[in-house]
Amino acid sequence: MIPTPDTSHLTNADFEHVYEPAEDTFILLDALEADAERLRALTPRIAMEIGSGSGCVSAFLGAVLGSTTCLYLSTDINPHAALCTLKTGGQNKVPLEPVVTSLIGPFAKRLHRAVDVLIFNPPYVPTEDEEMTDAQAGRAIEGSWAGGKQGMLVTERVLCGLDEILSEKGLFYLVAVKDNDVPSIRRRMDEEYGFESDIVLQRRAGREHLFVIRFSRKASPS
C-alpha cells in the first residue's frame, strides 16, 4: 500500500488559499494505486496534473511510478497552489515542476501529444456560470470547486483539448460526480474524439457519488 503523501508542512493558512485533500482527492489516489502496474508499464516520459492544489496527487503519482526519468509537471492558475505543490514535492522527495498557467493554454499546447499521464480533479460542483467565471479569473481557492452549469464548464475545456496534449499511448484520469452525467461524458469522448474509457473506481462520499474515469485512445484498426 502506497502511503498518502505527507502534507504536514502545509498550514491552516495555506489551506485558506488551496484545496485541502478530501474524499475526491483520496478516490483519485486509490484509482492511481489500483492502476499502478498499468501506469508503470507505460514508462511515461511526461506526467502532468491539471490543478495541482496542494501537490498531494502529483506527489502520489511520483511514488506510484518511482521514476526519476519522468518529468512531473503540475499546473494551476493559483500561484499559491504552485508554491504549495513545490513544497510538497520536496517534502516527499518527488521532483515536481509546478507551472502557473491556465487549463489548456499556450503552455499545454506546446506539449503536443507528449503527455503520457494526465490527471484532473476539476471544479465539478454545479454553480452559476458567472460564479465559475469569477472563480477562474480570481485565481484563488474558489476556482477549485465552482464548475458552472452541470459542474462541467471547466471540465469541457480540458476534454476539448485532450486530443492535442495526450500522447498516443497516454492515459487520462478524470474525477467526476453523478451530476456531471458520466455516461454522457464517456459517450461523447468516444463518438466525437475517439477516446475509449473505463470507470476505475466509484464510491459515495456524503451526498456526492464520485467517479474516476480513465480515458485512452482507441487502438487503430489493423
Joined together, the cell numbers standing for residue 209 give 457519488
Which is more confidently placed, 125 or 186?
A: 186
Tens digits of per-residue pLDDT, 134-166? 666 666 666 665 667 777 788 998 999 999 999
Q: How far from 30 is each of 24, 71, 144, 204, CA to CA, in Å?
A: 10, 22, 20, 14
Joined together, the cell numbers standing for residue 82 give 504552485
Query: Could you tell me if 59 and 2 are in contact, meaning their C-beta atoms sit under 8 angstroms apart?
Result: no
Q: How far from 114 is each of 14, 71, 171, 180, CA to CA, in Å?
A: 32, 11, 11, 28
Tens digits of per-residue pLDDT, 179-193? 899 999 999 999 999
Q: Which domains does the chain have, with CATH numbers?
A: 23-216 (3.40.50.150)
> What sign results for the dihedral spanned by CA atoms 25, 28, 34, 36?
negative
Q: In this structure, are strands 208-217 and 166-177 parallel, antiparallel, or unpaired?
A: antiparallel
* pLDDT value for 143: 62
* Enclosing H/E stretch for 96: strand 96-100
Residue 25 pLDDT exceeds 70? yes
Pairwise CA distance, residues 165 & 38, whole Å: 20
Query: Could you tell me if 46 and 115 are in contact, meaning their C-beta atoms sit under 8 angstroms apart?
Result: yes
Pairwise CA distance, residues 5 & 23, whole Å: 15
The lowest-confidence range among 17-21, 78-82, 106-110, 169-173 is 106-110
Measured from the Cβ of residue 45, the count of other Cβ atoms closer than 10 Å reads 14
As beta bridge partners, residue 176 has: 211
The whole-model pTM stands at 0.92
Half-sphere exposure of 203 (CA within 13 A, CB side): 11
* pLDDT value for 34: 98
